Amino acid sequence: MSDLKKLQADLDTKRSILSSKTLSFDPQVAVLSSFRAIDTFYASNGHFYNSQRRNDQSVEFKQYVKESTWYFQRGILATVRSLLKSAGKGFTVPELVQTHQQISFWYQLIQGFGLIESVQRCADLAAKGLAEVTSSKEGYHIHLPNSQWENLDGSSLSSLIKAISVDRTIEHQENEARWPFIEKKMMRLVRPWRTHFIAYGADPEVDDFFHTRAAIVLDRLFQFGTVEPSMSFGGIPYKDYTRFIEYNVAASLKHISFCYLLMKKHPHVELQNVITIWQNKAEQIEHYSEILGLETDKIGKLFATTTLTDDFFSANTENYVLPSPQRIEFGFGHYLRPIYSAYENPFGFLDVMLKAKFPRDWGRAEQTREGIMQEMLSGLFCSERYYSGQNVKLKQQDRYLTDIDLWIYDRQAATLALMQLKWQDPHQFSVRKRTSQKLNFEKRAGEWVRKIGVWVDQVDTSEIGRSFGMKSATAQGIRRIRKFVISSHNCRFLDASYDSGAAWSNIFEFMEVFKAVRGEDPLTETYREISNRNVVPRRAELQSAEVSLDDIQIVISGS
């Protein structure tokens, strides 16, 4: 048996042992306890981090939160999968008072699942030739020659947060300035229920405060809208789905604050007993029908596309892909609304469900994606200095060669930019999706770069001008041509081979670089800056990590 197969067998055994521990408890108690552990973890870290935001936090603290969250995230899905199978259909919510020590057991169990899935991901990388596994008496050693390839894949998304958060900074500051007033109101509204639990009243000003906070949070989580807001799914516009999510996130953020205010007011109350929310399905559908002004059947569709059920796993078999549903359904008529969904991106899960439930609508929506990217990029070139065009079909000897999705001509610098736009859904932590995207991106975009290179070499400026509808005199003035391959998300894969004849970027990185350049030829400077990033990736070396799965020691190291 190879070292990789031995590692896989050990991981399967450890996963089975943890699942057995979960199944040894009463299903209702297991579900409640595990989600109290999950919600307490997220609420505690999020609250502490935000409360200390004004102070400079230590590198050690940031690293602790990052590493803890990393393993915990990977454990949630495996835990939920096990719980959904064991809960059955006749589920009731127990009124259970638990101590921090009791919740700690479930925290450690989820963390254990997370450690297993993190190592599983390394094993999957090894199966694709992206890592090496060797075994010894002490355990296993996993070597990642392309160290931190995942972080590098995501490094080109670093511009994303900048691009979507700056515009709402003032609004955020103005809203947060209201907090002292809102806090006083909430302190009057919150009270203990049955000594250890929580109850609170409603107030429109409190709701408005958290709706604004949720909208800003979702802007920062939203990884470039995958769908035009006016597109409909099941007869409901996409914007109504996102509005529904905003209401859910606002409710979660409000609940977290109420919990901490109650503990401040009544110190005997403990977070694990108040943080997790259970809801009646029928009551919630009526509630949202009233506040959103939609029929109950449409609200049912909103719930169906934001709720995790056991059916989800039949279509999503990879253990380490983390969904962020707004609700999880256990048994008949009851939802659990996980607080952790307020800290994770909910749109990936929504899009997966929309694609599965409304495939025809999703197919129509996919056809608009390139147009979204074209519109965003064209907005950079609105001055008289530039003129542009879209969807040009190039021909060679009267035969179709390839498409130009977007072209820009800089009159002043006499530079022509030719762009190939590629839509890529986030692969998250899926090795299978990553491999598929890499091959598709590398092969098809590479073919485009080569075809354009041959075409440019073989035609004269007059032919270039005719292809793009330029006047002959304008075409004669073209001094240089720059080629760009621009994706919606991931654009750099360490084990990919990129044609140096083009600059490879994602859309947010391109926008950030273009806005920052100050020279006489912005397109060329953007081309050079992005090309330099492609050649010399900016990354930190992966530090060695040691994972202990009871009696098995696993060392992960990078180059």
Q: Tell me the one-letter amino acid at 426.
A: P
Q: Out of 146-150, 224-228, 314-318, which region has the weakest mean confidence (pLDDT)?
A: 146-150
Helix axes 281-292, 296-304, angle to 10 degrees: 110
Whether the predicted pLDDT of 48 surpasses 90: no
Q: d(Cα 502, Cα 484) in Å, to the nearest integer? A: 5
pLDDT above 90 (res 386): yes
Question: Helix, strand, or coil here: 391?
Answer: strand
* DSSP assignments along 108-166, one per residue: HHHHHHHHHHHHHHHHHHHHTTSSEEEE-SSEEEEEESSTTHHHHHHHTTHHHHHHHHG
Beta bridge partners of 483: 418
Sequence-separated (6 or more) residues with CB below 8 Å from residue 450: 499, 501
Q: Which residue has the higher pLDDT, 91 or 282?
A: 282
CA nearest neighbour of 251 among 210, 194, 195: 210
> Which of 252-266, 342-356, 365-379 has the highest mean predicted lDDT (pLDDT)?
252-266
**Reported confidence tier of residue 348, pLDDT bands at 50, 70, 90:** confident
Q: What is the pLDDT of residue 536?
A: 44
pLDDT at 274 > cutoff 90: yes
Label residue 289 by pLDDT band (50, 70, 90). Answer: very high
**Which sign, positive or negative, has the C-alpha torsion 289, 292, 297, 302?**
negative
Residue 315 has pLDDT above 80, yes or no: no
Q: What is the mean pLDDT of residues 457-464?
A: 88
- Hey, which residues does 487 pair with through a beta bridge? 422, 506
Q: Please, what are the domains in the chain?
A: 1-147 (no CATH), 160-367 (no CATH), 369-516 (3.40.1350)
pLDDT of residue 434: 76
Reported as a single tens digit per residue, the pLDDT across 169-205 is 778 889 999 999 999 999 999 999 999 999 999 999 9
Quote the pLDDT of residue 90: 60
Question: CB atoms < 10 A from the CB of 559, how many?
Answer: 10
Q: Nearest CA to 467 among 503, 422, 416, 502?
A: 416
Question: Can you tell me the distance from the alpha carbon of 195 to that of 178, in angstroms, rounded to the nearest whole number?
Answer: 30
- How much is the mean pLDDT over the chain? 83
Instruction: For 113-131, write each residue's pLDDT tens digit.
Output: 988 888 888 888 888 887 8
